[in-house]
Structure 1
Amino acid sequence: MTGPTSDELRQAMGRFVTGVTVVTTLAGGLDHAMTANAVVSVSLDPMLVLLCVEQEARWHDAVLAAGVWGVSILGEQDRATAQWLATRGRPLHDQLARVDVERGPVTGVALLSGALATLECRTQQVVPAGDHTVLLAEVLHVGLPDHTGDALTFYRGRFGHLS
């Protein structure tokens, strides 16, 4: 019996519904951003989250250099932004020009103004894991806007929403 293939694992995990976020950092005087769904709450005391980042993503080197990053939890209204920031090869300069952002009060990273919630994080541990790196981070600030809406989801390679 042979083991599973990477394609089989991709298909299996594609059947696991996840939320969608945009993660941001500020390095070399530039905003760096990408769409991510591998964000997990780890602990409430201390407040910790983790993020898995593909090592080939340009965001990877930027966040390692910066040491701080933001998470914007997306609603259905942010689908176009999620698609844009998931596009490989998009321009690095001004990639957030078409996105309404505000600066995090603690780290100064860009956070999406219309997000359902935001986090500002400081990396505590960096763990190589195959073709990804796991970032374990302390949560420095939580933003909970008054507006609510349907959550943007990712399932079987497509965006959807959850009320």
Structure 2
Amino acid sequence: MHSIERHVDPATYRKVVGRFATGVAIVTTRLGDVDHAMTINSFTSVSLDPLLVLFCAEKVARFHDAVLESGVWGVSVLPASMEDASRFFAHRGRPLNGQLATWPHHRGESGVALFDDALATLECATTAVHDGGDHSIVVGGVTAIDTPSDGAPLLYHKGRYKSL
């Protein structure tokens, strides 16, 4: 590994990487009787054999410790019609109790919440966690998939929500 010297302004870096359009999803986990959820745009397919995906969780987010402890998580890929949910689950410090009540959802086989209006859902079991600076890169084996609805995807580009 090479050490990384910083020659790049973080604010400029954010603008540059913000030009890469991403999909938006909500990742969920359940620890005990408590649901945890967080908006992400750092989600990607990793491997077809075995089936692996990853997302990145900020280490200071309460979701981070919950998902690492539970070992299972769900991903709901959002349609443009769920921008309100994306904004809500991106907000820090919201109450945990009842946070899912506004949006129709169901429990997957692993017990995690999956949004009924999602374009796609995946259930995953954590297989590896890698250090990613101020984030952890959480890799999971896919245990279940579905395509509950159809429609335009919610996208994020240049610091704004967009759709196709």
Q: TM-score, normalising length from structure 2? A: 0.94
Distance (Å, rounded) in 1 between the aligned partners of 2:14 and 2:20: 10
CA RMSD for the aligned pairs?
Answer: 1.0
Give 1:152's aligned residue: 154
- 1:28 Cα offset (Å): 2.7
* SS of structure 2 residue aligned to 1:115: coil
- 1:36 alignment partner in structure 2: 40
Partner of 1:110: 113
1:141 is paired with a residue whose SS is strand
Residue 3 of structure 1 is matched in structure 2 by 7
State how far apart, in whole Å, the 2-side matches of 1:90 and 1:75 are: 22
Among 124, 128, 149, the residue aligned to 2:127? 124
Q: What is the letter of the counterpart of residue 150 of structure 1?
A: A
Q: Within 5 Å, which residues of 2 pair with 1:5-154?
A: 5-104=9-108, 106-145=109-148, 147-154=149-156
Gaps of 5+ in 2: 1-5
Q: Aligned equivalents of 2:162 and 2:140: distance in 1?
A: 28
Deviation per CA, 1:29-71: give whole Å up to 9, x if none: 1000010000000011110001111001110010011000000
Q: Specify every segment of 5 or more residues in structure 1 that has no aligned partner in the other structure, as ranges.
A: none
- Please state how far the C-alpha of 1:157 moved relative to its aligned partner: 1.2
TM-score (norm 1): 0.94
Deviations 1:109-148 (A, max 9, x none): 0000000010000000011111000011100001122x31
Mapped to 2, the partners of 1:35 and 1:81 lie a distance apart of 8
Instruction: Measure the CA separation in 1 of the matches of 2:77 and 2:132.
Output: 24
Matches of 2:37 and 2:49, distance apart in 1? 28
3-state SS, counterpart of residue 35 of structure 2: strand
SS at match of 1:42: strand
CA distance in 2, matches of 1:117, 1:127: 25
Question: Following TM superposition, by how much is the alpha carbon of 1:9 offset from its aligned partner in structure 2, in angstroms?
Answer: 1.4
Deviation per residue, 1:67-126 (Å, 9 max, x gap): 00000000011111111111112112111111111000x201000000001000000001
